[in-house]
């Protein structure tokens, strides 16, 4: 992590080295958010991070920049225009046909060259598949610190990024600082940060940047794009209503009661980690620290105790309804509504009631 590698201390000692370092850091400013665009569509996590980046930039008194890489065209123009609506002051744009499909080499090259040229103090990326791949290679190339999967970001009294994330199996939260290197990099999972309101905004400044790479420099070739249609994909992170079951459902057959209620409500369904480990539902439906973070308008949790690793993935929900036989279950400490009772009896009654109401 970031603190292992120290710069060589100046001959005059540690005090002088610290001063030298702080002078060096003054050349880095602004908060950057990488806008993840794949096949013409911006990942919503990018707008969530612009919302968070806005708060950090305001605290530091610096500008918020969107970094947009992609092929020339209307999608790129739309992404730039949306960036103003979600709070960016300026945009660094690399418009280049080679960036049509995500490949690590040209994207890493574009982003590291941009950072080395324009020197942001903070760089945020979504902890999506693409974002994780890119953040790792960019941080390694820049030899700076990267805190992955953050749940909270803040600025401390020394203007450093305080990046908080779970550790020790989610039993503790640790706050990590990148004290000796710049930029300070962090990835944040989708839905961890709230979506900012769109606002009417004047266009900001666009700084165009050229990718210094040609196709022959890139080892990876995209021959075709084949979407995976073999499995039904869960869209838990952005669902308005989620119904989930835990070990308290008793057996995989009873999980049908969860999917029945979800179907009536037009909801997505998911489960706690043990239900995935037991093979009751697929891994992409796990909710919690090592699964998906969700922020639905309504979350119904049946037979789930509410362990901390589950809680961190659901506490952004607007309303949580918990069903549990144990009135002292931890989930009742953060649920808005609670039903103490047997989920295998309550769920069918709820499904029936909603069916009648929504018919
Ligand atoms: P239990 O804790 O066994 O709870 C079952 C609940 O059902 C109990 O409260 C019981 O009172 C209730 N119950 C029993 N019968 C009924 C009934 N008939 N009707 C209603 N209620 C009933 N967990 C996650 O969920 N997501 C994660 O991402 C995650 N990541 C983890 C990462 C690490 C590193 C570790 C160590 C753990 C992680 N866990 C995660 C596991 C977590 O610690 C808990 O073990 C897990 O959430 C418990 O699942 P559960 O609530 O379904 O089961």
Long-range pairs for 326-333 at CB < 8 Å and ≥24 separation?
Answer: 329/305, 330/305, 330/306, 331/301, 331/304, 331/305, 331/306, 332/306, 333/306
Between strands 64-70 and 90-95, the pairing is parallel
Rounded CA-CA distance 150/135 in Å is 13
Closest CA to 37 of 66, 8, 11: 66
Rounded CA-CA distance 93/66 in Å is 8
**How far is ligand 1, taken at its centre, from the CA of residue 271, in Å?**
9
Instruction: Report which protein residue has its CA nearest ligand 1's atom 52.
Output: 246
Q: Is 74 annotated as a binding residue?
A: no
**How far is ligand 1, taken at its centre, from the CA of residue 251, in Å?**
14
Closest CA to 137 of 106, 104, 115: 104
Q: Which of 4-8, 40-44, 67-71 has the lowest mean pLDDT?
A: 4-8
Closest CA to 287 of 309, 266, 303, 265: 309
**How far is ligand 1, taken at its centre, from the CA of residue 310, in Å?**
7
Q: Tell me the two tokens of residue 22.
A: 């702080």
In this structure, are residues 36 and 125 in contact, taking their beta carbons and an 8 Å threshold?
yes
Closest CA to 35 of 105, 121, 102, 119: 102
Q: Is 272 annotated as a binding residue?
A: yes
pLDDT per position as a tens digit, 201-243? 999 999 999 999 999 999 999 999 888 776 666 789 999 999 9
Residues with CB under 6 A from ligand 1: 169-170, 246-248, 272-274, 286-291, 303-305, 307, 309-310, 313, 323-326, 329, 342-344
Sign of the CA dihedral running 159, 160, 161, 163: negative
Q: How far is CA 225 from the centre of its chain?
A: 24
**How far is ligand 1, taken at its centre, from the CA of residue 78, in Å?**
43
For the chain, percent of residues with pLDDT exceeding 90: 85
Please state the ipTM of this predicted complex. 0.99
> Is 31 a residue whose pLDDT tops 70?
yes
pLDDT at 359 (0 to 100): 78
Q: Is 287 annotated as a binding residue?
A: yes
Q: Tell me the two tokens of residue 150.
A: 């953050």
For the chain, percent of residues with pLDDT exceeding 70: 93
Instruction: Report which protein residue has its CA nearest ligand 1's atom 9.
Output: 305
Q: Is 286 annotated as a binding residue?
A: yes
Pocket test for ligand 1, best of 304, 315, 342 (most atoms within 8 A of CB): 304
DSSP code string of 35-84:
E-EETTEE-HHHHHHHHHHHHHHHHHT--EEEEEEE-SSHHHHHHHHHHH
For the chain, give the number of residues: 359
Helix (H) or strand (E) holding 281: none
């Amino acid at each position: 992590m970031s603190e292992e590698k120290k710069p060589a201390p100046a001959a005059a000692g540690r005090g002088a080295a610290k001063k030298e370092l702080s002078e060096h850091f003054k050349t880095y400013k602004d908060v950057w958010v990488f806008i993840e665009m794949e096949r013409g569509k911006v990942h919503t996590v990018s707008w969530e991070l612009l919302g968070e980046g806005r708060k950090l930039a305001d605290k530091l008194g610096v500008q918020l920049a969107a970094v947009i890489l992609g092929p020339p065209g209307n999608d790129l123009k739309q992404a730039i225009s949306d960036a103003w609506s979600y709070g960016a002051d300026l945009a660094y744009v690399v418009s280049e046909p080679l960036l049509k499909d995500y490949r690590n080499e040209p994207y890493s090259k574009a982003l590291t060259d941009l950072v080395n040229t324009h020197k942001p103090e903070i760089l945020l990326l979504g902890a999506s598949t693409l974002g994780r791949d890119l953040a790792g290679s960019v941080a390694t190339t820049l030899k700076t610190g990267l805190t992955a999967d953050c749940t909270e970001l803040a600025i401390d009294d020394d203007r450093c990024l305080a990046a908080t994330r779970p550790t020790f199996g989610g039993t503790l939260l640790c706050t990590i600082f990148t004290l000796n290197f710049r930029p300070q990099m962090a990835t944040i999972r989708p839905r961890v940060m709230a979506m900012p309101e769109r606002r009417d905004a004047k266009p900001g400044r666009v700084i165009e940047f050229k990718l210094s790479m040609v196709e022959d420099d890139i080892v990876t070739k995209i021959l075709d794009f084949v979407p995976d249609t073999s499995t039904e994909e869960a869209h838990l992170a952005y669902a308005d209503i989620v119904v989930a079951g835990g070990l308290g459902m008793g057996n995989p057959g009873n999980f049908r009661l969860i999917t029945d209620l979800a179907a009536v409500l037009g909801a997505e369904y998911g489960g706690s980690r043990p239900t995935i480990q037991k093979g009751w539902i697929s891994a992409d439906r796990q909710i919690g620290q090592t699964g998906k973070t969700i922020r639905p308008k309504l979350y119904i949790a049946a037979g789930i105790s509410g362990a901390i690793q589950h809680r961190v993935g659901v506490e952004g929900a607007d309303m949580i309804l918990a069903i549990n036989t144990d009135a002292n279950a931890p989930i009742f400490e953060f649920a808005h509504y609670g039903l103490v009772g047997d989920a295998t009896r309550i769920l069918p009654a709820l499904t029936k009631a909603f069916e009648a109401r929504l018919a």
